[in-house]
Amino acid sequence: MSPEHNPARHDRDSVASTALALLDEVGLADLSMRRIAARLDVQPSALYWHFASKQALFAELADRITAVIPRGEAGVLATARGIRDALFAYRDGAELVLSTYALQLGSSHAQSSLEAALREAGAEDAPERAVAILHFVLGHATLVQQRMHADSHGAMRDQGEIDVTAGLDRIFDLGVTAIAANVGAAIVSADATPPRDRV
C-alpha cells in the first residue's frame, strides 16, 4: 500500500470541503491540486484516491455549491434567483459551475430544479426551457462576479460611488421571465413584479 493512501486521515468529503474553502480564499485560477494537497498536508497524488481528476473534483464542488437550490415549488423566477444566489455564495462560484456544466459534469440539480418549476408552471417544453434559463443564469452570474472582482481590484473605469452591479437584478428578472414567458402564472415568485404584457 502506498504511504500516501491513508483513508483514515482524509476522505472524499474532507478533500472537497478543503477545496471549497480554498476556492473562497484564492479563487478558481489558483485552485490547483497541488495547493489543495498542501493544505491537507499530503502529496498531490493522494487526492486521486478520492477523485479521478481535477475535473471530477470540480464537478463535486459544483454539486455542493448548487445543493442549496430550492426544488422549484416557489416558481421559476424564485428558483432561478436561488441558483444565482448559490453561485454568489462562493468566490468564482459562477465560473466554476459554468466550467463544469460546459463539460457536462456536475450541477444537474440546478437544471432539474428549473425543470420542476417549469413543469409546475405548465411548460410542455420544460427540459429545453430549463437549459435556456440555466445558460442565462450562469452567464449572467459570471458577468456579475467578474465585474465585482474587477471593481474590487480597481480595474473598472472610475465609477466614483456608483454600484457597478446597479440594475443587474432587474435585468436578471427580465431575462428569466422572457425565457419562461407564456407557461403560466407560477413563473413569478410571490414577491416579484410580473413583466408587462406585450403590446
Whole-number pLDDT of residue 57: 96
Q: Within this chain, do residues 45 and 61 fall inside the same structural domain, yes or no?
A: no
**Is 13 domain-assigned?**
yes
Whole-number pLDDT of residue 152: 61
Q: Within this chain, do residues 126 and 139 fall inside the same structural domain, yes or no?
A: yes
CATH code of the domain in which 108 resides:
1.10.357.10
Q: Within this chain, do residues 22 and 109 fall inside the same structural domain, yes or no?
A: no
Whole-model pTM: value is: 0.79
Whole-number pLDDT of residue 151: 59
Q: Within this chain, do residues 28 and 58 fall inside the same structural domain, yes or no?
A: no
The residue ranges of the chain whose pLDDT is under 50 are 1-8, 155, 185-199
What residue numbers bound the domain in which 89 lies? 54-187
CATH code of the domain in which 34 resides:
1.10.10.60
Whole-number pLDDT of residue 55: 94
Distance CA 122, CA 189 (A): 15
Whole-number pLDDT of residue 132: 96
Number of domains in the chain: 2
